[in-house]
A and B are shown apart, each in its own frame.
Chain A
Amino acid sequence: MQAHQRMLDPTPNGLHSGESPLLQTLGLTKRYGDFLANDSIDIDIWPKEIHALLGENGAGKSTLVKAIYGLIQPSAGEIRWQGERIVLSGPSEARSRGIGMVFQHFSLFDNLTVAENVALGLDGKESFKDMSARLEQVSKTYGLPLDPRREVWQLSVGERQRIEIVRALMQDPKFLILDEPTAVLTPQEADQLFIVLERLKAEGRAILYISHKLEEVKRLCDTATILRGGKKVETCNPRLETAASLARMMVGGEIKEVKAPAGRQTTVPRLVVNDLSLAPSEAHGVRLEHISFELKGGEILGIAGVAGNGQDELFAALSGERLSRDPGTVVIEGIAAGHLSITQRRKLGAAFVPEERLGHGTAPRMRLSENALLTGHAASGMVRRGFIDTAATLKTVDRATETFDVRKAKRDPEAASLSGGNLQKFIVGREILRNPAVLVVSQPTWGVDAGAAAVIRQALLDLATAGAAVLVTSQDLDELAEIADRIAVMFHGRLSAPLATSEATREKLGLLMGGSSLEPKEAAHAVGA
């Protein structure tokens, strides 16, 4: 009843007068050195409420929920639980009071079964047998099917998330925190999750839902609190806002629209992959199976898919970090390159941007000029007779800084000192400035602020317009819809046939991401396989 009324009320908090919120923070502040990660945040969470916590990376969302879950101690301010002031000694105290949390990064042991993983995460003293029975019952009740006897490495990401949710529900929490739960789900899996969340809400529980997917928040949440730069900007009813108005509050200004230049022409094939199969290099890795596609100059091909379906393995096979026995499996600029090293592939005109910025794309404790040399030594005139031309490496830093608006404290700082967005702009800039014929980029805007994301997407579009072939792997379907000409989906190491972006609806992509086939006769074949 109450929830229904509140939906119609533009000021949701006004309705609760007379009763006390389930959880409340008052002036909650967390200081790291000179940096205020949370600056005096007030937030009220009521029973029977799905409360969104919105904000860009670095806005302070994680810090706030960590304080609420007892993982960190606030520097100032207080937390109230059912009207009473509490100081949490740690997550187990939070759990015993009825606060549960599902993290974005799962803490599961791959080689243990579902039931064993759940048992490890519970504080209670019940027997393993009772616990397993209760696990099956909870998972049935909430429509979260799980086989307690299966080992985790065999499960999909969506199933792993179910383990985490069931584990939290087995403690019967009054208040559940979910950190970006749909980031790893297909659209269909997300829909199923929303049904579960609605049901938890109907049971009288409260949910704090961290996300930056605005459409999702508008659909699911009753209240939204927006953080920016560690401060609370506003608490509002997301259903009365537009996605654009929510985005403005998150970013604190207008976001530049990415414009696809008109009249982009495709030319000759610049990157061709022919029937690429590759055994995994590590235990529980994904086997690439019969991957084929052709990418022409002037074209952007998007690869969608839930994380862990072979995208990393494909990147390694394309970049040459892993070699293929058959040279013809990867063809760059008409030259068979499957057996060539990453340096030789760069000399053919290929450039690569991996998903991990620190430690893979850059050496964190080295200067930007040295990180320019990291990928530039092969083909950019930075090395003469074995000697480094320091002026040339610094020039690359300056050009990337200028062209891509990289903000940094000094001319040549260490990579680790840059913010995620600025470092990503540097990495993408470093590769684009080499005028590559082929650019393979993985998760180009993952964990990057909206401003930097727009700059990077625009740069990819401009590069394709200039004639390069661009391959973008992303879990963000909106991003792919914005920049890709065609979208293919990766599932269990296989790549679907690409769809034109105009035909690639969320539903179709979601089916492919879940392993279904779009054509009925192929579906029959897939069952047999």
Chain B
Amino acid sequence: MQLVLEKRAERSNTIALVSPLIAIGLTIVTMIILFAILGKNPLLALHAYFVAPLTDGYSLQEIAVKATPLVMIAIGLSLCYLANAWNIGAEGQFLIGAVAGSWIAVKTQGTDAGAWVLPAMLVLAAAAGALYALIPAICKVKFGASEILTSLMLVYVADLFLDYLVRGPWRDPHGFNFPTTAEFDPVATVPLLIEGGRLHLGSIIALLVVAAAAILLGRTIKGFEIRVVGAAPRAARFGGFNANQLIILTFAVSGALAGLAGIIEVAGPVGHLQPGISPGYGFTAIIVAFLGRLNPLGILIAGLFLALTFIGGEQAQIAMKIPLDVTKVFQGILLFYVLACDSLILYRFKLVFPNRQVARGTG
């Protein structure tokens, strides 16, 4: 008896929907084993991770707040990945967006600048993120440089640039030498949706981005172009679509969304620019994009789920002294299973029994 992978005639839509769930199931099983090895009660740990955050209002808001940047970045990344353009540097575009938007906030600090400040910050952050993403895109199109490497390396450039600014020119003079800017003025801050709560306008923007992506991919010729260039490059060229233009476009859009997410995070929940504004949102968003099957609605759900693991990870650390790094292990294992389960969309498992020997006489 032998287990073989057999190609399906047509992709299975059922599996396409179920595969992320199978992946989550397998991840949880693996985590149970991991918790047991760490000497923690697996049931309590799972409760802390997945149930406790859903039981109080503060945590629920916090999940939405964490999901906001994840979803916005992942939507942009999904456009790249659908078009076969591999933007791995969303983290860098996120940081550059945060820096560019903060520039206006820092420069208008303490002046009587009006309501134009926040919109200007958002626009500048998106533009900066887009420009930063265009560097690997143009290197790819003009020189054939691998966008995977260049976009990833630019993450560290952005990270150190931000570090330089908050330790040097932009440091808050009254900040006890901490590497941080001063708290942004109210006109440079993303407004809260509920007074005294955590939920802010950025979550609404994220929902609008999801809706726009759904319309783009499902209804427009541009969305079709993106999908066909990724799925069948030669057929796309035959259809009259230019793959290089699409690399530029999808990188610019995903950079803009990452940059926007960056400034919303800084001008929203954080309130000032400092190192460590991102717990790896740009990288976790890659998992969100694939867990959501590169589908806008799927990404929204996946974003909320991964936000849950961030919040749950904090709770588990507080309640059970489980290291926060376990959350990253969890996310890595999840991506592994998601990609593995995806093969079931085009293939199925089949048990094969060895040939029964056919006995036959001669002649």
- Measured as residues with beta carbon below 8 angstroms from the partner, the interface class of chain B is 20 to 34
From A26, A33, A76, A361, give the contact of B238 (CB < 8 A). A361
> Shortest beta-carbon distance, A480 to chain B, in Å?
24
Interface positions of B from 107 to 146, Cβ below 8 Å from A: none
From B6, B11, B221, B362, give the contact of A33 (CB < 8 A). B6
Residue pair A359, B10 in contact (C-beta under 8 Å): no
Residue pair B240, A341 in contact (C-beta under 8 Å): yes
With a cutoff of 8 Å between Cβ atoms, the chain A residues found around residue B355 in the complex are 73-76
From A342, A356, A361, A386, give the contact of B240 (CB < 8 A). A342
Residue pair B232, A76 in contact (C-beta under 8 Å): no
Give bound CA distance, A75 to B360, whole Å: 15
Give bound CA distance, A17 to B225, whole Å: 66
B234 within 8 Å of A (CB atoms): yes
How many pairs of residues, A versus B, come closer than 8 Å at their CB atoms?
88
B231 within 8 Å of A (CB atoms): yes
- Decide: A414 near B222, CB < 8 A? Known: A26-B360, A370-B228, A374-B235: no
Residue of B nearest to A360 (CB): B234
> Shortest beta-carbon distance, B347 to chain A, in Å?
12
Contact with A along B219-230 (1 / 0, CB 8 A): 111101001100
- Decide: A342 near B238, CB < 8 A? Known: A27-B360, A366-B232: yes
Give bound CA distance, A26 to B361, whole Å: 10
From B221, B227, B232, B362, give the contact of A383 (CB < 8 A). B221
Residue pair B237, A321 in contact (C-beta under 8 Å): yes
A307 within 8 Å of B (CB atoms): no
From B221, B239, B350, B356, give the contact of A76 (CB < 8 A). B356
Give bound CA distance, A341 to B234, whole Å: 15
Residue pair B228, A366 in contact (C-beta under 8 Å): yes
A465 within 8 Å of B (CB atoms): no
Residue pair A386, B235 in contact (C-beta under 8 Å): no
Residue pair A386, B221 in contact (C-beta under 8 Å): yes
With a cutoff of 8 Å between Cβ atoms, the chain A residues found around residue B239 in the complex are 342, 374-375, 377
B1 within 8 Å of A (CB atoms): no
- Decide: A386 near B222, CB < 8 A? Known: A342-B240, A352-B238: yes
Q: With a 10 A CB-CB cut-off, give which of B9, B232, B362 has the most chain A CB atoms.
A: B232
Residue pair A343, B240 in contact (C-beta under 8 Å): yes
With a cutoff of 8 Å between Cβ atoms, the chain A residues found around residue B228 in the complex are 363, 366, 370, 374
Residue pair A363, B10 in contact (C-beta under 8 Å): no
A179 within 8 Å of B (CB atoms): no
Contacts from A to B (Cβ < 8 Å): 26-27, 32-33, 73-78, 83, 319-321, 341-343, 346, 352, 354, 356, 359-366, 370, 373-375, 377-378, 383, 386-388, 413-414, 416-417
Contacts from B to A (Cβ < 8 Å): 6, 9-11, 219-222, 224, 227-228, 231-232, 234-240, 350, 355-356, 358, 360, 362
What are some 9 contacts across the A-B interface (CB < 8 A)? Answer: A77-B358, A83-B362, A321-B237, A343-B240, A360-B238, A363-B236, A365-B232, A370-B228, A374-B228
